[in-house]
Structure 1
């Protein structure tokens, strides 16, 4: 795969000339600012036409586009063989860089997922609120948590799924556990259940959780008859219990399509003046509504509705192409609809079409999705305690700020609060984060992240790390005379709170109110008070603290993953002859990932300071030799 060169400097004429010099092949383009940060990732049927369009008169149609073009300092392009390949590369690069001018899909992290560890020989099934790129299947997020847990309980009565946490077969218990003796597990750990038999069970559970119970029902009925004919009444009784469990699950699902169809419907709602945008996916399987997925979109700005809908559809299905229905219902057509249909049909292995219903149940379903999205945004507004219209600065503190001040006995409402968190993996790449919320909303200009300095690799001291980042933050804040928050929150318990207070004493800001929020019971710890405070689950003040804690955790975890990815990149590059630490650093700063280096041309790599043509050629040869996609294609 070839790539085009990189242009430097803010010269608009030079950028226009570079755009006119691009080829007409499909591909992906990156716009960077003067600091090298990726501003925007886009795909094009014709790179020349698409990139050149940003520097013509049409760029003035959108405020967001005007701002983007004003900040572009360099252009980088990656030609590919087809539009479908460009679609996937665009999505992967948006996930990699998180550009601030791209619409991005974000989950509502307050809702859980069901995780099935399909990468293990004997998969486990459990509930989680964190998505990891670990080869597991994630189903969700589930907005009705009670219904999800009831469904799981029913499934675990129907099937003997193991509940242990051993990573089999590398880890095995000394003997079968109690679950085996009471009939809740068949002890695959002791060789009493084959991997094939266990896998069949997991496949059926995935079908049920996906709402496709018809095929499972027919298979279970056939096996029950076979067991009865063979006089295996114990096995026939087990299968009868599975059928009863299916009846129980289906009775809880609303029947909305008498024809028994299986499809999704997507709708969204947006708040005015660049406020929040929420998308809803309603999932109908075999005529029954089996689930609702809630997602938020960031960086929307003044993008038109069709662009928002397109980003929602691509963002949702490109990351979970193993659960693509035969049909998607939307209220309006959107750009690249045909391309999305073509790509997902190929990935899913069956025809996938996007339809705009004009009447009947399909139209009502798309309207229901949009109404659901509007209700979610209204719920969020009420939880924040907003009285002003979204997007308009409130004249006074929101009610949630007053409620929090009352609960914590603060002298004034805490409109500005900061939250600290640390993140590490076995003591490696330890980092910290500080996020700032103003009236319950992220104030990202004030976000800060830290690499932990005083830690030994392989050792973890949460208290020392918390003390370090709080000390560094407030020392600099005071030294530069910058504004201080109304409330300081730390993620953790009494130990983290004590560490933070010591750091604040040293920085001379001990008068700032400080609390710690513990994850397990959502307890609020306060200095000098032995008993933690437990706010009601529906308390808007608690929601503010949780939102700050979760945002600090997300920001720290993202930085930790970035550093681990860089470490892996350095490790691979260091194996290539002629690439030393200095060249590694320059390649890392310029490209950010092995995938982008692998897709570049020798000329593009050679433009990196310190990388000549010979070194560029040897780097690409080494990386392309271990490219898994290249091996699969050969």
Structure 2
């Protein structure tokens, strides 16, 4: 790595001198501002030639490039051995620093993924909304959440995937759980299923989730025939159920390619004047449409379409190299297409062909992807309360953001809004929430929930609770160097606002605009003013504040209810004679809920460590006496 710091402020002569001192090797370059922040990350075949090109005549640069050059203070470079290595390093640095002049891929965080923990000896499969760099396989995001969950339910009927959360083999349950006894798991935790057999099952599931069912079907049919020939009718029946599950899954997928091809098709749509950009990836496997991926691109500005398309392709596939198809259909050629094709072919282990279809089903697919993207942008405008069919210059503020800035006398439009709320019931299980809205839409990756620490049982102090959660939130955010919102909203009145401001003063973020929104008359309280602001009911700025307040209330209330349910469950079990804290904990670990304990048989309860037949009978008798309408499982 080499890095040179230039003088403070835009000094083009000094920057040109830095550029002339660079070598001609491939690499990655970072432009930094006067504070040391990363403005832009780029990749070059020749570092000297590429970096020097930024400091030519201003008339030849785009508006975005002119703004970038005016803020550059220094150049930092990372020479590498090849363009392919530079491609990956560029993407990783963009993800690490999030420079505001780079086009960046942003998922719609409201959509879930299927996570397969392939780094574990006995992988688990579950739904998540958070991507982590933990070696797991992520499939998604899935826009049709209902279809995704139905597919998972079908797969878990077909295969005996473990549902427990033990990180085997480091941690094992004392004995096989209920799933083993009802045939939903083969108990690898007890050594009743080998790691090899379990892995083979997971490999088949990954093929199915990837839409590649033909080879799985052939393999299952062959194994079913072998089992029948060996008179192993139980195993043959299990495999027959797998085939039925495949039929069920395939019946839900639209057949759109009569040739049975497997490829991805990409399209995108953008609003005018540097507005929002949405990209769509349509995934076709063996002739059937098996999925649609929605992605947003940020910091696009006036970049040409080929740069946008290139950023979409690189952003999606460089982080999902295990899901690279054999053919990628794009609407137009894009910058560095050959390099991307070569690199992705290498990491995927098979040849990737990037093609611009001129006719036929391929052309229809790319057009369909672009139409999908346009529909998503239109949907987003409707959700933000903007008029359908109008062109929105989203490079500037949206109408709601502009109106809010005007009403609250903000220096800049508030794109990012956080809202705090607290929830309690008679002083029990007091909790707080913080939600983040970006351009009026939930940004759920930034949601936070808090258990109130400094509260006494049975006593409620809303102001102290608000001060605690705001203090904890901003203390940590400042400590970790995380981005801060444009506007802070608290649910409540003048007292909650004062408590929040005290916490923000202590965290060193008192410069952030802050308001409180009272439920009764929808009054907006501002620091330093005695008279609350009353916005018209139809005001789009008020709608944003209400949306943030209502979302924070919903999130806090849900967390409060979850904690109260857990407390009620523990309280009910502890009232049963013979069930102390240790037995209570073992029952909860094994069954998870009061309803499942109530539905169990005495024999199933008695398999819990420390619970003998007599105790099991007394537990069920007590629970059924409380709710006689529920019977035991037969």
TM-score norm. by structure 2 comes to 0.70
Shift of 1:483: 20
Moved more, 269-278 or 513-522: 513-522
Shift of 1:111: 0.7
Moved more, 448-457 or 170-179: 448-457
Moved more, 190-199 or 463-472: 463-472
Q: In 1, distance between residues paired with 2:545 and 2:173? A: 41
Shift of 1:209: 0.3
Moved more, 233-242 or 473-482: 473-482
Query: Contact 2:29/2:43 (CA < 8 Å) preserved in 1?
Result: yes
Larger-gyration structure (1/2):
2
Query: Contact 2:105/2:312 (CA < 8 Å) preserved in 1?
Result: yes
Query: Contact 2:405/2:412 (CA < 8 Å) preserved in 1?
Result: yes
* 1:128–1:408 distance in 2 versus 1, CA, 3 Å: farther
Query: Contact 2:5/2:74 (CA < 8 Å) preserved in 1?
Result: no
1:225-273 per-position Cα deviation (integer Å, ceiling 9, x unaligned): 1111111110011001001100110111011111111100000001112
Shift of 1:178: 1.1
Query: Contact 2:278/2:377 (CA < 8 Å) preserved in 1?
Result: yes
Query: Contact 1:4/1:22 (CA < 8 Å) preserved in 2?
Result: no
Query: Contact 1:31/1:40 (CA < 8 Å) preserved in 2?
Result: yes
* 1:287–1:108 distance in 2 versus 1, CA, 3 Å: same
Alignment: residue pair count: 634
Query: Contact 1:159/1:201 (CA < 8 Å) preserved in 2?
Result: yes
Shift of 1:24: 1.3
1:276-334 per-position Cα deviation (integer Å, ceiling 9, x unaligned): 11000000001100000000000001101000000000000000101100000001000
1:379-403 per-position Cα deviation (integer Å, ceiling 9, x unaligned): 1000111128877589999999999
- Pair 1:357 & 2:357 matched: yes
SS across alignment from 1:628 = coil
Q: For structure 1, which runs of at least 5 residues remain unmatched after alignment?
A: none
* 1:624–1:286 distance in 2 versus 1, CA, 3 Å: farther
Q: In 2, distance between residues paired with 1:320 and 1:599? A: 43
Q: In 1, distance between residues paired with 2:422 and 2:385? A: 29
SS across alignment from 1:86 = helix
Shift of 1:375: 0.4
Shift of 1:592: 43
Q: In 1, distance between residues paired with 2:485 and 2:534? A: 23
- Pair 1:56 & 2:56 matched: yes
Query: Contact 1:388/1:394 (CA < 8 Å) preserved in 2?
Result: no
Moved more, 459-468 or 91-100: 459-468
Query: Contact 1:36/1:590 (CA < 8 Å) preserved in 2?
Result: no
Query: Contact 1:7/1:75 (CA < 8 Å) preserved in 2?
Result: no
Query: Contact 2:5/2:73 (CA < 8 Å) preserved in 1?
Result: no
Shift of 1:118: 0.9
Q: In 1, distance between residues paired with 2:85 and 2:543? A: 42
Structure 1 residues 355-504: aligned runs within 5 Å: 355-387=355-387, 418-420=418-420, 440=440, 467=467, 470=470, 489=489, 500=500
Shift of 1:516: 11
Query: Contact 2:6/2:74 (CA < 8 Å) preserved in 1?
Result: yes
Query: Contact 1:6/1:604 (CA < 8 Å) preserved in 2?
Result: no
1:379-434 per-position Cα deviation (integer Å, ceiling 9, x unaligned): 10001111288775899999999999999999999999642599999999999999
Moved more, 468-477 or 324-333: 468-477
Shift of 1:21: 2.3
Query: Contact 1:3/1:604 (CA < 8 Å) preserved in 2?
Result: no
Moved more, 452-461 or 621-630: 621-630
* 1:535–1:256 distance in 2 versus 1, CA, 3 Å: farther
Aligned equivalent of 1:526: 526
Query: Contact 2:384/2:440 (CA < 8 Å) preserved in 1?
Result: yes
Query: Contact 1:29/1:47 (CA < 8 Å) preserved in 2?
Result: yes
Shift of 1:57: 2.1
Query: Contact 2:110/2:443 (CA < 8 Å) preserved in 1?
Result: no
Q: In 1, distance between residues paired with 2:73 and 2:590? A: 14
Q: In 2, distance between residues paired with 1:627 and 1:311? A: 59
1:69-88 per-position Cα deviation (integer Å, ceiling 9, x unaligned): 00000011111100000000
TM-score norm. by structure 1 comes to 0.70
Query: Contact 2:220/2:242 (CA < 8 Å) preserved in 1?
Result: yes
Aligned equivalent of 1:155: 155
* 1:570–1:392 distance in 2 versus 1, CA, 3 Å: farther
* 1:198–1:444 distance in 2 versus 1, CA, 3 Å: closer
* 1:30–1:206 distance in 2 versus 1, CA, 3 Å: same
1:475-500 per-position Cα deviation (integer Å, ceiling 9, x unaligned): 99999999999996469999999975
* 1:230–1:293 distance in 2 versus 1, CA, 3 Å: same
SS across alignment from 1:143 = coil
Shift of 1:468: 5.0
Query: Contact 1:105/1:315 (CA < 8 Å) preserved in 2?
Result: yes
Q: For structure 2, which runs of at least 5 residues remain unmatched after alignment?
A: none
* 1:483–1:211 distance in 2 versus 1, CA, 3 Å: closer
* 1:473–1:176 distance in 2 versus 1, CA, 3 Å: closer
Moved more, 477-486 or 565-574: 565-574
Shift of 1:523: 20
Query: Contact 2:6/2:73 (CA < 8 Å) preserved in 1?
Result: no
* 1:73–1:425 distance in 2 versus 1, CA, 3 Å: farther
* 1:423–1:585 distance in 2 versus 1, CA, 3 Å: farther
Shift of 1:440: 2.6
Moved more, 32-41 or 486-495: 486-495
Moved more, 508-517 or 433-442: 508-517
